[in-house]
Amino acid sequence: MWRPAVALAVVAGLAAGCGGGGGAPSPATQLKIHVETGTADAGLVASDATLRCDDRSSGTGFLRGAAAAACTAVARHVLEAVAAAQRKDRICSQIYGGPQAARITGTANGVPVSLTVTRTDGCGVADWETLRALLGDPERRDSASPS
């Protein structure tokens, strides 16, 4: 049986948890992204970015100027989809996509994220393509916005 007092307690508890200690609520998406892009021949370049999605999208590093597209991808739950796929046993083609790697940590859509993507097989190549709005061109040689 549903009781109004219990419902109010649950709502009050949720509201208290969202406030972050009385300050402004934290955004549902706040990510740190580290990528190593380039090619095996020319070498890899390490780049860092942050992404924040709330009332407006904002990004630093290689996501400066590309935050809106990245936040749209996050809102479509691409990170959760890749993380769920990585937790399952997958049969991956032995197609080497390159030495590129990425690490994404933080919170996406209110859910903690800790995700690593490499392009060492077909699954990693597919994961990178799914996350391209966040990671950009894997052969990019500078810290410019993803293309």
- The amino acid present at 107, given as its one-letter code, is T
Stretches in the chain below the pLDDT threshold 70: 1-26, 143-147
What was the pLDDT predicted at 83? 96
Domain assignment present for residue 146? The answer is no
What was the pLDDT predicted at 141? 85
What was the pLDDT predicted at 90? 94
Prediction pTM value: 0.79
Domain assignment present for residue 142? The answer is no
- 103: Cα separation from own chain's centroid: 9
Q: Tell me how many domains the chain contains.
A: 1
Domain assignment present for residue 8? The answer is no
For the CA atoms of 3, 4, 9, 11, what is the dihedral angle to 10 degrees? Answer: 120
What was the pLDDT predicted at 55? 85
The whole domain housing 103 covers: 26-135
Cβ contacts of residue 22 below 8 Å, gap of 6+? none
What was the pLDDT predicted at 147? 60
What was the pLDDT predicted at 25? 53
Domain assignment present for residue 4? The answer is no
Domain assignment present for residue 125? The answer is yes
Domain assignment present for residue 111? The answer is yes
Domain assignment present for residue 147? The answer is no
**What is the overall mean pLDDT for the chain?**
84
Domain assignment present for residue 63? The answer is yes
Query: CATH number of the domain that 131 lies in?
Result: 3.30.350
**Distance separating alpha carbons of residues 65 and 21, to the nearest angstrom:** 32
What was the pLDDT predicted at 104? 98
**Distance separating alpha carbons of residues 141 and 146, to the nearest angstrom:** 11
